[in-house]
Structure 1
Amino acid sequence: MPVKIKSVERRSPAQKAGIAAGETLHKINGNKIVDVLDYRFYMTDEHLDVEVEDISGKLRHIHITKQEYDDLGLDFETYLMDRQHTCKNKCVFCFVDQMPPNMRDTLYVKDDDSRMSFLFGNYITLTNLTDEDIDRIIKMRISPINVSVHSTNPELRVTLMKNPNAAASLRYLKRLAEHDIKINTQLVLCPQLNDGKELERSITDLAELFPAVESIACVPVGITKYRDGLFHLRPYTKAEAQQVIDTIHEYSDRFLKEHGDRIVYPADEFFLLAQMPIPNEEYYGEFDQLENGVGLLAMLKQEFAEALADAHDSGKKRSVTIATGVAAGEFIKDLAAQAQSKYKQLKCQVEVIQNDYFGENITVAGLITGTDLIAQLKGKNLGEEVLITSAMLRHEQDKFLDDFTIEQVEQALGVKLTVVDNDGYELLGSILNEDLWADA
Structure 2
Amino acid sequence: MASKIVSVDPGSPAERAGILAGETLLMIDGAAVRDVLDYKFYGYDARLTLELLDENGQTRTVSVRKQEGEPLGLNFEHYLMDKMKRCSNKCVFCFIDQLPKGMRETLYVKDDDARMSFLLGNYISMTNLSEADVDRILRMHISPVNISVQTTNPELRVKMLQNPKAGEALKLLPRFAEGGITMNCQLVICEGLNDGDELRRSLADLEALYPAVNSISVVPFGMTDHRDGLYPLKPMTYEGACEMLDIVESFAAKCLEKHGTRLVWCGDEVYLKAGRPLPDADYYEDFTQFENGIGMLSLFSEEFRLALSDYEGQSARPCCIATGMAAAPTMTALIDEARRVCDNLTVPVYAIQNDFFGHGVTVAGLITGQDLVAQLKGKDLGERVLISANMLRDGGDVFLDDITLAQASEALGVPVQTVEIDGGALVDQIFAQ
Q: TM-score, normalised by structure 1?
A: 0.96
The aligned amino acid for 1:20 is L
Q: In the superposition, relative to structure 1, how do residues 252 and 369 fare at CA in structure 2: closer, same or farther (>3 Å)? A: same
Corresponding letter in the other structure for 2:100: P
- Report the equivalent of 2:116: 116
Cα separation, partners in 2 of 1:323 and 1:130, compared to 1, 3 Å: same
Residue 227 (structure 1) aligned with residue 216 (structure 2): no
Distance 1:394 1:262, change over 3 A: farther
Structure-1 separation of matches of 2:71 and 2:58 = 25
Count of aligned positions: 433
Where does residue 105 of structure 1 map in the other structure? 105
Which residue of structure 1 aligns with residue 178 of structure 2? 178
* Partner secondary structure for residue 7 of structure 2: strand
| Matches of 1:288 and 1:11, distance apart in 2 | 35
After superposition, what is the alpha-carbon deviation per residue over 1:323-377, rounded to whole angstroms, capped at 9, x for unaligned? 1111122111111111112211112211111100000111111111101011111
For structure 2, the residue ranges without an aligned partner over 5 or more in a row are: none
Cα distance, 1:317 vs structure 2? 5.6
Bigger mean CA offset, 379-388 vs 220-229: 379-388
Q: Which moved more, 1:425-434 or 1:124-133?
A: 425-434
Which shows bigger deviation, 128-137 or 301-310?
Answer: 301-310
Q: Which residue of 2 aligns with 1:377?
A: 376
Return the alpha-carbon distance in structure 2 between the equivalents of residues 421 and 16 of structure 1. Answer: 37
Note the C-alpha offset of 1:4. 2.2
> Percent same amino acid among aligned pairs?
51
- Tell me what 1:264 maps to: 264
SS at match of 2:346: strand
* TM-score normalised by length of structure 2: 0.97
Residue type at the aligned position of 1:294: I
Query: What aligned pairs does 1:2-401 form with structure 2 within 5 A after superposition?
Result: 2-314=2-314, 316=315, 318-401=317-400
SS in structure 2 of the partner of residue 319 of structure 1: coil
**Structure 2 CA distance, aligned partners of 1:162 and 1:222?**
18
Deviation for aligned residue 1:397: 2.1
Q: CA 1:9 to 1:391, structure 2 compared with 1: closer, same or farther past 3 Å?
A: closer
Q: SS where residue 225 of structure 1 aligns?
A: coil
SS at match of 1:347: coil
Residues 44 and 68 in structure 1, CA contact (< 8 A), matched pair in contact too: yes
Per the TM alignment, residue 269 of structure 1 is displaced from its structure 2 partner at its CA by 0.9
Contact 2:316 2:432 in 1 (8 A): no
Q: Distance in 2 between matches of 1:323 and 1:64?
A: 51
SS at match of 1:219: strand
> Structure 2 CA distance, aligned partners of 1:183 and 1:131?
18
SS of structure 1 residue aligned to 2:417: strand
Shift, 1:380, TM fit = 1.4
- Which SS does the other structure have where 1:372 is aligned? helix
Deviation >4 Å, runs of 4+: none
Q: Structure 1 counterpart of 2:415, which letter? A: K
Separation (CA, whole Å) in 1 of partners of 2:63 and 2:282 = 52
Q: Which residue of 2 aligns with 1:437?
A: none
| Aligned residue type for 2:326 | A
Structure 1, 175-184 or 85-94: larger mean CA deviation: 175-184
Q: Is the 8 A contact 2:316 2:431 kept in 1?
A: no
Q: Distance in 1 between matches of 2:3 and 2:298?
A: 45
Matched AA of 2:346? K
Counterpart residue type for residue 401 of structure 2:
D
SS of structure 2 residue aligned to 1:184: strand
| CA offsets 1:261-316 (integer angstroms, 9 cap, x no match) | 000100011111111101001110111000000011110111112222343212x3
Give the C-alpha shift of residue 180 in structure 1: 1.5
Q: Structure 1 residues 71 and 318, CA, compared in 2 at 3 Å: closer, same or farther?
A: closer
Instruction: Deviation per CA, 1:63-120: give whole Å up to 9, x if none.
Output: 2222222222222111111111110100000000001111111100001111111111
| 2:197 partner letter | K
Hey, what's the Cα distance between the residues in 2 that align with 1:375 and 1:189? 32
Q: Could you say if the C-alpha distance between residues 345 and 231 of structure 1 is closer, same or farther in structure 2, counting changes exceeding 3 Å?
A: same
| Change beyond 3 A, Cα 1:69–1:61 | same
SS in 2 for 1:346: coil
The alpha carbon displacement at 1:396 in A equals 4.6
